[in-house]
Amino acid sequence: MAGAAAEQRRLATVVESWLGRPVLIVGDAMLDEWRFADSDRLCREAPAPVLTLRRRISAAGGAANTAVNVAALGGRAVLVAPVGADVAGDEVHDCLDRAGVWDRTVNLPGRPTPVKRRMLAGNQILLREDSGDPDDALDPDGVTRLLTALSCATEELRAAAGGDPPTLVVCDYGLGALPAPVRAWLVEQRERYATVALDAHDLADWRGLAPTVVTPSFAEATRLLARAGGATRPSNGTELHLEHPDGDPADGPSELSVGTAPGGVHADAGTGEPAPHLSRADRLGPVGEPTPGEGRVALTGDGLSVTGTGVTVNTEAGEGVDRAVLAESRLAELRAHTGADVVAVTLDTEGAVVGGADGEPRRSHSTPVPASHAVGAGDAYLAAMTLALAADAPLPTAAQLAQLAATITVSDTGTCVCRREDLLTALDLPPQVASHPVLVDTAELDAIVAEYRDAGRSVVFTNGCFDVLHRGHVRYLEQARALGDLLIVAVNSDGSVRRLKGPDRPVNPVEDRGALLAALSCVDHVVVFEEDSPAALIEAVRPDVYVKGGDYPPELVPEAPLVRRLGGQVRTLGYVPDRSTSAIIERIRSHSQDRESDPSVHTRTS
């Protein structure tokens, strides 16, 4: 029991270590739309159900969902991707904003945002309608704007990390967001990034990137091997050969056939000549179509081959072979063909097979769930694997956390997102902390912080006047909350605000300002301080992360030396453009003056 607790604590330490780690995500962003309907009859025109729409939800998809998962797990996520100037694009922006992702997407009028619309009845997906395809390629101006956004976001993250190179995640799902010039730029700029993760439908497009980790599905891995030549290897006297159909769909399964060497003839183990006991039909290699069922392979009707989704295996090449075994046997080739340090072949509901430079395959398992529960689970896997490797976690630890992140997200229908709190809870850490009021005084705050410290939780601290609460404040506080387990907001008293802002401020008394902050779900505790500087509170709280709003580097924050002396980190988060208390107050005053100078107003109100 003690050993299990120590292992959980070790894993939790890795999760804590990646807090605030800068990650740039680039690729195909899309919108996932879920439409939930009821159906109790068939229509008269056709044998089809009549659906009554009950609710609709939308979520970030593709590269956007990977960014959301990075942010939810505690990383600092920045997304660069082309997004259409349309309704779907607006919804993607909203999803990113709610998740605390730094939205550096490039709006491209005339190029629609890819959408995956799912219609469900009784929690069963009835149909999926996709919009967006590789034909929606970026024009030269779009490529230029995307490359500019990539370069700027890279430097932005480097500055936020104190000069350290950021992590890069490439999500290429074949929808045209990463054309050849963008791929070439990323390969050329590889040295600007420390850890590089690649998730691509066609891995062959990324030769030269030298990623730290690639996470192909089984179909994507077999597609790469087949196109690379399908090298053969002996196995107990029987050669395994990869056959692959031409013209793979851009988004669909690939078929891997494992059986005889080219020519379809089983070689005799002793002579190397065709085995005489096999009929001509047998010498043609494996037959039979893959069954639609997932899980392990099953015996086909010919009695000689077993088959499963996307794979046909001849029994003479190894009875009982399944996808995990096949993936394990080809990890070294996959690493060679991709140039990656780590290859993680994901197997849907069967978990994953992971291999690194030591040549030791690592198998992880998952719990089978309905397909509607697993949408986006691969994004959670990719986000956790990337963060763990970027935090220098050993490969077995990274693989374990990635699988756990993917597994705990599949409890319900919808696009999967794994939160840092959920991951720690799954590790039975940290223990529950007693409930406390949101509005507290300094004495109560000391006790609360001590309790959280004992529970192994991290504390985020920020301060400000928060005179007129607006969207910029809310986004800033949501991003701050994502950097730790507990967010404490220190609010200047009315006297302090007057000394800092002038005699006409604050507009709202501290009681109102504190109550509004306490009503935000991202704020755990609010405390009022009388001084002009929060230095005394910082000394008492000793925050793990101190956050300030602004577009300047952390070195310019006056409290930075104190926070670092106490062992904490300093982070600056950019505000929403054109959102500030001063600007709002000025607009209100201007509007009031316009009304006073308008004679018609006095006429109507007299």
Which candidate, 368, 380, 408, 376, places its Cα nearest to that of 116? 376
What's the full length of the chain, in residues? 606
Q: Which residues of 6-16 are buried (b: 16+ CB within 10 A; e: fewer)?
A: eeeeebbebbb
CA 334 to centroid of chain Cα atoms:
24
Measured CA angle at 469 (ends 466, 471), to 5 deg: 125
Cβ 462 vs Cβ 537: under 8 Å = no
Distance CA 362, CA 352 (A): 8
Q: Which of 379, 422, 485, 494 is catalytic?
A: 379
Helix 140-160 with 180-188: angle, nearest 10 deg: 30
Q: Is the dihedral of CA 361, 367, 370, 375 positive or negative?
A: negative
Strand arrangement, sheet containing 486-492: 525-529, 486-492, 459-464, 545-549, 569-573
Is 379 considered catalytic here? yes
Distance CA 410, CA 377 (A): 7
CA 421 to centroid of chain Cα atoms:
15
Distance CA 172, CA 178 (A): 7
Residues facing 461 on adjacent strands: 488, 546
SS3 call for 429 = coil
Distance CA 252, CA 270 (A): 40
Which candidate, 230, 449, 201, places its Cα nearest to that of 346? 201
> How far is the CA of 312 from the CAs of 140, 144, 288, 352, in angstroms?
43, 45, 8, 19
Question: Known catalytic residues?
Answer: 379
